């Protein structure tokens, strides 16, 4: 258990540092009027998780057949620290690949819409609790 936790922390820490510096570097060059850095990190993370998914499936026959420690280090750790958006997109892709179109659509739209509502709801509630106004 401790070895897996160490792999997760190592990968997650590296991914977080990479995300921070890459996003900051991009924002400094392209300006703050649009979240270019986050967009680039999310798209790069999606490309990397697709690459890893294909490589692991090719080598081990399936993603779940690949070594758990390797998945913890690279997918949950490194890419999880870099961007969780890539996990969301890979899970959506897996549902689509399985032909579960309804569940995929529910997951994709549900994550986007409910996630936005959660951010807005938490923001409004917190502002109201702190100041009595939105």
Are residue 66 and residue 50 in the same domain, yes or no? yes
Are residue 81 and residue 104 in the same domain, yes or no? no
Query: What span, in angstroms and rounded, lies between the C-alpha atoms of 81 and 99?
Result: 29
Q: What is the DSSP string of 21-79?
A: HHHHHHHHHH-SSS-HHHHHHHHHHHHHHHHHHHHHHHHHSSSTTS-HHHHIIIIIIII
The position carrying tokens 């420690």 is: 69
Are residue 68 and residue 109 in the same domain, yes or no? no
Are residue 45 and residue 88 in the same domain, yes or no? yes
Instruction: State both tokens at 74.
Output: 């690279």
State the pLDDT at residue 132: 82
**pTM for the model:** 0.80
Sorting pLDDT into bands at 50, 70 and 90, what band is 84? confident
Sorting pLDDT into bands at 50, 70 and 90, what band is 95? very high
């Amino acid at each position: 258990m401790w070895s897996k936790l160490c792999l997760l922390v190592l990968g997650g820490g590296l991914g977080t540092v990479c995300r921070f510096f890459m996003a900051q570097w991009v924002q400094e060059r392209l300006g703050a009027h649009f979240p270019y850095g986050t967009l680039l990190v999310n798209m790069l993370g999606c490309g990397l998780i697709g690459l890893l998914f294909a490589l692991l499936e090719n080598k081990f026959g399936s993603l779940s057949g690949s070594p758990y420690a390797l998945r913890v280090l690279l997918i949950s750790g490194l890419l999880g620290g870099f961007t969780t958006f890539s996990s969301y997109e890979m899970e959506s892709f897996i549902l689509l690949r399985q032909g579960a179109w309804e569940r995929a659509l529910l997951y994709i739209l549900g994550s986007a819409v409910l996630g936005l509502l959660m951010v807005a709801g938490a923001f409004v509630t917190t502002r109201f609790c702190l100041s009595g106004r939105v």
